[in-house]
């Protein structure tokens, strides 16, 4: 299956920590600090803690020795086309070992509107009437179909009718349809976030160059789907995703000892 894809003109780099994925590493980067956000594992899902107002990017690095297609959605919205996310949509094509930062909603082959953590009500998904999946990043990875190898068979007229029947295939409507994505409600074990959860805004325009390419998918369903959920640190603590930090208290290495006393200064020095 062929679809609209974007080829990336970025040199490959080494993978960083705080990443998940088998065919490719996926991580979330705080663009203000340049550091990868730590991944927290809870109830079978990965989470990251974002900070309101901070720009972020999704970094993907291909581990394969062949090209890879990454169809990417944020808050249930395709980051290239703006459509409600589905596996068969356009994505980014990675050469072997290639690494690239997806930093925003693509507006053209030369411009994006940056990703930033914001209130769910101000997210791009909510502002376009699709708030159900705010708070989740998804990457569907596809392997490429190998190029066909030319084969020459000797012609036998007696086998013509048999070969005609053998070459028939089921129509496209008979193929398995992808399952509907789950709704990303920010609750775990009955615990609900105490404040409004984070979403991803439609931020400032930035220059970002890509070019169109083609990619023939090996299958109509992904070879791997990576999901990372996100919210504010406070909400993740309230839901038990992140352990709460104990209140800081000064420690005395000699608690049973007292400081020596001397004559104090008179008032006024």
pLDDT, tens digit (0-9, with 9 covering 90-100), for 115-166 = 999 999 999 999 999 999 999 999 999 999 987 766 655 555 554 443 333 3
Tokens of 35: 């550091």
Residue whose C-alpha is closest to residue 56's, from 83, 80, 71, 74: 74
Cβ 98 vs Cβ 62: under 8 Å: yes
- Widest CA span in the chain: 120
Residue 257 banded pLDDT, cuts 50, 70, 90: confident
Residue 191's SS3 state is: strand
Look up the pTM and report it: 0.72
pLDDT tens, position by position, 74-107? 999 999 999 999 999 999 999 999 999 999 999 9
Where in the chain are the domains? 5-146+177-238
Cβ 242 vs Cβ 40: under 8 Å: yes
d(CA 242, CA 41): 9
Pairing mode of beta strands 111-119, 55-62: antiparallel
Residue 220's SS3 state is: coil
Residue 254 pLDDT: 72
Q: Can you say how many angstroms the Cα of residue 103 is from the centroid of all Cα atoms in its chain?
A: 11
pLDDT tens, position by position, 180-189? 344 456 666 5
Residue 177 banded pLDDT, cuts 50, 70, 90: very low
The more confidently predicted of residues 168 and 51 is: 51
Residue 117 pLDDT: 98
Cβ 28 vs Cβ 58: under 8 Å: yes
Residue 256 pLDDT: 73
Give exposure, 50-65, as e/b (b: 16+ Cβ within 10 Å): beeebbbbbbbbbebe
d(CA 4, CA 46): 29
**Highest mean pLDDT: which range of 1-10, 79-88, 185-194:** 79-88
CA angle 114, 95, 148 (to 5 degrees): 130
């Amino acid at each position: 299956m062929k679809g609209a894809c974007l080829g990336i003109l970025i040199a490959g780099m080494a993978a960083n920590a705080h990443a998940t994925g088998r065919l490719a590493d996926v991580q979330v980067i705080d663009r203000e600090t340049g550091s990868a956000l730590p991944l927290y594992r809870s109830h079978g899902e990965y989470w990251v803690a974002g900070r309101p107002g901070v720009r972020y990017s999704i970094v993907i690095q291909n581990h394969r020795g062949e090209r890879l297609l990454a169809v990417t959605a944020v808050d249930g919205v395709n980051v290239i086309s703006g459509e409600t996310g589905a596996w068969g949509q356009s994505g980014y094509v990675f050469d072997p070992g290639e690494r690239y930062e997806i930093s925003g909603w693509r507006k053209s082959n030369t411009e994006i509107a940056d990703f930033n953590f914001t209130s769910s009500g101000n997210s791009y998904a909510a502002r376009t009437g699709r708030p159900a999946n705010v708070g989740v990043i998804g990457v569907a990875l596809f392997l490429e179909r190998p190029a066909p190898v030319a084969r020459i068979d000797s012609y036998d007229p007696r086998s013509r009718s048999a070969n005609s029947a053998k070459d028939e295939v089921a129509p496209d409507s008979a193929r398995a349809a992808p399952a509907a994505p789950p709704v990303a409600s920010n609750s775990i074990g009955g615990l609900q976030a105490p404040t409004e959860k984070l979403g991803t805004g439609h931020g400032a325009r930035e220059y970002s160059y890509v070019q169109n390419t083609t990619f023939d998918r090996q299958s109509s369903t992904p070879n791997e789907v990576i999901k990372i959920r996100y919210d504010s640190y406070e909400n993740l603590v309230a839901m038990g995703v992140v352990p709460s930090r104990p209140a800081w208290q000064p420690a005395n290495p000699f608690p049973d000892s007292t400081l020596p006393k001397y004559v104090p200064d008179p008032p006024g020095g």
